[in-house]
Amino acid sequence: MNSLLDDLGLDRPLVMFLGDDIDDEDHAVLFPLLRDHGLAVIRVHPHDLVSHADADGVTVSVDGRGLRPDLVVGWVLDELLIPGMAHLDVFSRLGVPVINDALTLFRAQHKFLDSSQLAAAGALHYPVISGHDHRALRGWLEDIGGPAVAKPLSGFGGRGLQKLEGPADAVPDGAYYVVPYVENPGRDIRVYTVNHRAVFAMYRYAPEGKWITNVRAGGTIAPCPLTPEIADLAERASRGAGTLIGGVDIGENTAAGELVVYEVNSCPTCEPPVLHAVADFLAATVAGDGEHWHPERDYAALEPTFHASKRHLIR
């Protein structure tokens, strides 16, 4: 879907996505939109980059050709996070603008660092505990007096989540990250932010009899009205996390009657309206005006609202 050699040879500003094929469906929509903006675009796997350092400085190449993009977008996670961070840091020090840079990705993909940023931004509305001391965890569970959720310190898609009914429940050995279980209407809200502006929201519903809402865990979806309250909370969370392209997961706390932020995702799978906003923002960034970019149209009204692969999941 993206011709590496052709786009490197074009006399147009070059946007480089550093990542793999996990979001092929997104790129099939986004890359033509960027080309319509007059940009060349490529995706490069971190393992395909070669860096050279000598007395004259640092250069980067791919497939034997020198590479100096006008903009780099970091889209690395899991086992590609650390090698990807190294490359993103090199590009930053070469003076290339980087969207979702190395530290932004690292902090957002470490659950407790993510929560600490939300706390500093005033967007964390419930307590969080993380560490290795399981005696402290059991005491904390007694104090909150209700169920909790243990999550891996890193990961996505609802993998490894465990509901704890109380202090006696087993928690995996080693490091832990635990939050109170939020009573909710069987769904959560994913809000997509671009340049810290909310552009699209969707409900994610847990399968019947289950509580994990992630689509990768079998959840279903529906459009969600982007109310001022939802948009304001998502934008505060995005600014706290520093994600210029991101997804904010919000819960509807039915017990307290308020919205709470679960986490901010730095590499979210997006939907077509979001990708239109991303294309507009990246084009503005290459032109030197990304800092002032804000949505100028109703992206939620664009069709299709969801990728073809998810239309059978729409409620």
Quick: pLDDT tens for 47-86: 999 999 999 999 999 999 999 999 999 999 999 999 999 9
What pLDDT is stored for residue 6 in this prediction?
Answer: 64
Residue 146 makes CB contacts below 8 A (sequence gap 6+) with 180, 181
- Tell me the mean pLDDT in the region 123-139: 93
Check whether 5 has a pLDDT greater than 60: no
Domains in the chain with CATH codes:
4-99 (3.40.50.20), 127-180 (3.30.1490.20), 187-313 (3.30.470.20)
Comparing 249 with 167, the larger pLDDT belongs to: 249
Per mean pLDDT, which range of 104-108, 114-118, 206-210 is the poorest? 206-210
> Which of 115, 185, 179 has its CA nearest to residue 147?
179
Strand ordering across the sheet containing 40-44 = 40-44, 14-18, 71-74, 98-99
3-class SS shares of the chain: helix, strand, coil, % to 5? 35, 25, 35
* DSSP conformation letters of 90-106: HHHHTT--EES-HHHHH
How far are the Cα atoms of 39, 107, 118, 177, 179 from residue 111, in angstroms, in the given order?
Answer: 35, 8, 11, 7, 11
Q: What is the distance in angstroms between the CA of the first residue and the CA of the last residue of the chain?
A: 30
What pLDDT is stored for residue 157 in this prediction?
Answer: 65
- Tell me the mean pLDDT in the region 157-168: 82
What pLDDT is stored for residue 138 in this prediction?
Answer: 92
- Tell me the mean pLDDT in the region 248-274: 96
Tell me the backbone φ, ψ of residue 300, rounded to 5 degrees. Answer: -65, -20
Model confidence band, residue 1 (pLDDT cutoffs 50, 70, 90): very low
Secondary structure class of 180 (helix, strand, coil): strand
* pTM, full prediction: 0.94
Model confidence band, residue 102 (pLDDT cutoffs 50, 70, 90): very high
* DSSP conformation letters of 5-28: HHHHHSSS-EEEEES-GGGHHHHH
Check whether 276 has a pLDDT greater than 90: yes
What pLDDT is stored for residue 202 in this prediction?
Answer: 97
Quick: pLDDT tens for 87-97: 999 999 999 99
Q: What is the mean pLDDT of the chain?
A: 93
The answer to whether 16 and 62 are in contact (CB under 8 A) is no
> Which of 281, 279, 277 has its CA nearest to residue 292?
281
Residue 259 makes CB contacts below 8 A (sequence gap 6+) with 125, 189, 229, 230, 233, 250, 251, 252, 253
